[in-house]
Amino acid sequence: MKYIENVLEFELFKIGEFTLSVYNLILVTVIFFAVRGINHSLDLLVKKRLEKKGLSDEGRNKSIAQIFKYVIYVLGFFITIESLGIKADLILGVFAALGLGVGFALQDVFKDLISGIIVLFEGNVSVGDILEVDGVIGSVKEIKLRTSIIRTRDGIYIVLPNSRVVNDKVINWTKSSKITRFSINVGVAYGSNVEKVRELLLNAAKELEEVSNRPTPRVFFEDFGDSSLNFEIHFWVVDTWDIDTIKSDLRFYIDKLFRKNNIEIPFPQRDIHMIQSKK
C-alpha cells in the first residue's frame, strides 16, 4: 500500500508551485474519459426523449445535444484545473488579459463564437436543413461553435462562419415550408395559339411526378417580347434539393410537346442595316 502511495505521489515535473504527479495525471485522464462518456450518454438521452415527445427531427436533436456537450466540456475543464491545484480565478484573469491584448485581432472569431451559440439555441438552422447563401444551395452537415459545414449539390464542402448565418440574408428552404414554388420562363413565336401554349405547359407539369398537384401549376402570359410571346409557368415541389433536375426534366417535356404541336420557340432576331459610304 505504501508503494502505491509513493507511485501516485511521484512528481513528473514541477514548475514553481505547480507540481504534476502521477495521481494528477490519472485524475485528469479519468475526468477526460468521464466527460466523453457523459456527453455520449447525454446525446442518446436527448435523442430518445425528443423522439418520445414526437420531435424526431434529427437536426434539432443534434443541435440540442451539441449545446449539452459544450457545457460539459467547460465544466470538465474547470474541474480539471481545480484538481491540479490551479485556481480558476487565475485562468479567468489570464483569459481577460489575453482578451484585452488580442481582442481587436480576434473580434471576428468571437463574433462567430457568439453567433454559433445563437444558432444552436434558437434552432432556426439545424443539421439537414437546405440553405441558400449568396446563390449557393447546400445541405447543413454539421454545426460547430464557430462554423457550420455545408455540402453543396456538387459535393463541395463549404465552411461557413456562423456570423454569416445570423447576420446575412440566408434562405432556409427546409424551414420555410414543406413545399416550395418555382418557375420556368419560355417564349413562343408571334402568331402562336396562346391558349394552346398554356394547355401544353400545364400538361408538361402534370407529367412530372415530382411536381405537386396541390397547389396546382399556373401559367402566366408575362409580356410581349422583342422576338417572342413570353410565358411563365409556376409549379410547386417538395424535393427542393433536386430542383435543378426537376426543372431540366420539365423543359424536356415542354420542348417535346411544343415540337409535337408545332409551337415554335424563336431565337432572338436582329436587323442589321449596312450603310455604304460615298467617297
pLDDT at 133: 87
- In a 3-state reduction of DSSP, which class is residue 141? strand
| 188, pLDDT greater than 80 | yes
Domains and CATH numbers, the chain: 7-102 (no CATH), 125-174 (2.30.30.60), 180-260 (3.30.70.100)
- In a 3-state reduction of DSSP, which class is residue 184? strand
Mean pLDDT of 171-198: 87
Q: Grid coordinates in use for 95?
A: 483569459
CB 265 within 8 A of CB 189: yes
Higher pLDDT, 249 or 4: 249
pLDDT at 166: 86
pLDDT in tens, 126-171: 888 888 888 888 999 888 878 899 999 888 999 999 888 888 888 8
In angstroms, rounded to a whole number, what is the distance separating the alpha carbons of residues 220 and 181?
14
CB 140 within 8 A of CB 150: yes
pLDDT in tens, 237-274: 988 888 889 999 999 999 999 999 999 988 776 666 56
Mean pLDDT of 172-183: 79
pLDDT at 56: 47
- In a 3-state reduction of DSSP, which class is residue 81? helix
Mean pLDDT of 194-199: 95
| pTM of the complete model beyond 0.85 | no
- What backbone phi and psi angles, to 5 degrees, belong to 237? -135, 140
pLDDT at 19: 63
pLDDT in tens, 197-223: 999 999 999 989 999 988 899 999 999
Q: How far is CA 224 from CA 187, 227, 257, in A?
A: 9, 8, 22
